Structure 1
Amino acid sequence: MQMSTAHFRTAAISGVLFPFLFLANVHAEALAPYKDDLFSGQNVLETSDGGDFTRIDYDEMRDINGRDSIPERRVKDLYVSLKVRRAQENQTLPLAAGPLDVARVGKDGGQAFTVIFIHGRGGDRRLGMNDITFGGNFNRLKNLAANNGGTYYAPSVHSFDETGVAEIAGLIDHASAQSGGRPVVLACASMGSFICWGMSRDAKAVSHLSGMAILGGAPDPELPKSAAAKAKLPIWFTHGSRDSVYAADDQIAIYRTLRKAGQPVRFTLYETGSHGTPVRMSDWRTILNWLLQ
């Protein structure tokens, strides 16, 4: 019998499941630290909304040139551990909407949680598995999943319309079934946010999700009316203040509307950051610890 995310939370808190299922309870440190000294020590310029809104100091010379051995092409070795590739596999999953190519890190079933990352335009499953670009941030995500009994999927989305939404709805169903109903987090970057917004209108998909992360995504004016909003699904936005593709102020306006309505939301703004900054700088451990609680 499958168990919903809501049922999982109740059971985890009451302690009637196996000990490892406590990963998704209200403990703020659900995921064990992994290279936090390199990724989590970001300089906070401002906090507001009781800590829900944070403005972070971003400096290209420090956060790109100082972090990469070849700027924007190869991160310095200390930021990554390639041992996680042993837990990595390419798969083609036979889902309801058709076959979907994914790369998977971690367990193929019985995972404590699942993270699904949706790439933007021009990407495929290789982007979310790239260990050495984006300052090693995907390598950290992969290690966080593998080290904590979770599963990380990076699918190749065929399109950012109803077809892509149906594909990822099928992947969410698959992940939920494989894990026995344990939490699923959907993370969407750039144009991939269209998949997250499509999913926000799907009440069944929302019921399987414990939260969403939106990295430099497009603002969705209809989000406050969505099934995700009605379900109070936690959402964490990260955005660059100088994003020339999707204006930060437009996304902040959505955040404020959701927060006013009582939805659990957070926003991290990278001061002077561009469109790609959130993929490089988003603190996966902090974000996942909040979304998995």
Structure 2
Amino acid sequence: MACATLAFPASAQTLAPYKDDLFAYPAILSSEGDTYRVVDYQEMRDINARDQVPERRVQGKYVSTGVRKVQQDLVLKLDVGDIRHFAVGKAEGASVIVLYLHGQGGSRKQGVDDFTFGGNFNRIKNLMAANGGLYLSPDFSDFGDKGVAEVAALIDHYAAQSPGAKIVVACGSMGGALCWGLARDARAAKRLSGLMLLGSLWDDGFLKSPAFKAGVPVFFGQGSKDPVFPVDKQQAFFRSILAKNKGYPARFVRFETGTHGTPIRMTDWRDTLNWMLQAK
């Protein structure tokens, strides 16, 4: 199993390994340095052979459920309203904070489901818990201005509890509208150390946003057969970022033959977060 490895300066913040052998990318079919990679994806191997019950329950070796001991289902009462969310790890003094924002029809529960999506949510939970970090999976009202305001307020609250933490927001599918909304919000953009778009949409307005001007790293994971957000359009948007600034910290991973949910299942959290923590 091939996996691109990155070398970081000794001073860079990095996450310690967690089941890397199981979650590393399969063979890299082609690449443009570390900026663009085409990853081999096979449904029979990466779903059917990985899951005990396809798409419903991954094999036990992929998960460690002891992390539930540091998982809480909370309600935060803020000026923008009550925000229900799961929090996993250190609520205060966290080294890094990662948020997952679900797509249409989802809820805060999706981001903490240990067994779906190949156990990948269990992995990010364990990565945060083991590295002194905090993982958040919230509900929000919509994918527009109100939802952006709610997520921004949630970030403000936890950033105040962990003033030294780097903050990365991962957005699945339609949740990407919130990622781009945060990028346009000057206050929120200052707090961001990375945005992850997982099977998600594009936003040409990002090129004029405070987050772009601040050089916030952006990761794109996209299935080549995504029927909702076509890979060609997302790749074109990715290329437009580099055309605007050829040194911009942006990465694209294309999962060949993957569909809409493939990036949520297959994206290597540790590889991506370590790059972002080093870059920003």
Same fold (TM over 0.5): yes
Aligned to 1:231: 214
In structure 2, the partner of 1:7 is none
CA shift digits 1:103-122 (9 cap, x unpaired): 01001111011000000011
Deviates more, 1:254-263 or 1:183-192: 254-263
Alignment of structure 1 residues 15-164 onto 2, 5 Å = 26=12, 30-48=14-32, 50-164=33-147
2:174 to 191, 198, 211: 191
Overall identity of the aligned pairs, in %: 49
Residue 94 of structure 1: CA displacement?
Answer: 1.8
Aligned to 1:215: 198
In the alignment, what sits opposite 1:16?
Answer: none
Read off the aligned partner of 2:258 and give its amino acid letter.
G
Offset at residue 95 of structure 1 (A): 2.4
Distance 2:154 2:27 in 1: 36
* SS of residue in 2 equivalent to 1:51: coil
* Structure 2 residue corresponding to 1:273, chosen from 258, 265, 270: 258
Hey, what does 1:247 align to over in structure 2?
Answer: 230
Of 160, 167, 174, 2:157 maps to 174
Contact 1:175–1:184 under 8 Å retained in 2? no
Q: Distance in 1 between matches of 2:172 and 2:188?
A: 19
Q: In structure 1, the residue corresponding to 2:148 is in which secondary structure?
A: helix
- The DSSP-based 3-state class of the residue aligned with 1:131 is coil
Q: Counterparts of 2:165 and 2:128 in 1: how far apart (Å)?
A: 14
Deviations 1:196-237 (A, max 9, x none): 011110111010111111101111121112111111110011
Work out which of the residue numbers 194, 201, 208 in structure 1 matches 2:184: 201
**SS class of match (2:47):** helix
Q: Secondary structure in 2 aligned to 1:233?
A: coil
Take 2:57 and 2:70, find their aligned partners in 1: how far apart are those partners? 22
- Contact 1:91–1:104 under 8 Å retained in 2: yes
In 2, Cα distance between the equivalents of 1:287 and 1:93? Answer: 29
Structure 1 residue 260 displacement after superposition: 2.3
Structure 2 stretches of 5 or more lacking a match? 1-8
Give the residue type in structure 2 aligned to 1:34: Y
**TM-score, scaled relative to structure 1:** 0.89
Which shows bigger deviation, 130-139 or 219-228? 219-228
The one-letter amino acid of 1:154's match is S
Moved more, 251-260 or 116-125: 251-260
Residue type of the alignment partner of 1:57: D
The residue that corresponds to 1:258 in the other structure is: 241
Give the C-alpha shift of residue 41 in structure 1: 4.2
SS of the counterpart of 1:100?
Answer: strand
Which is further off, 236-245 or 259-268?
Answer: 259-268
**Conserved in 2, the CA contact under 8 Å of 1:181 and 1:208?**
no
Find the aligned partners of 1:189 and 1:51 in 2 and give their Cα distance. Answer: 22
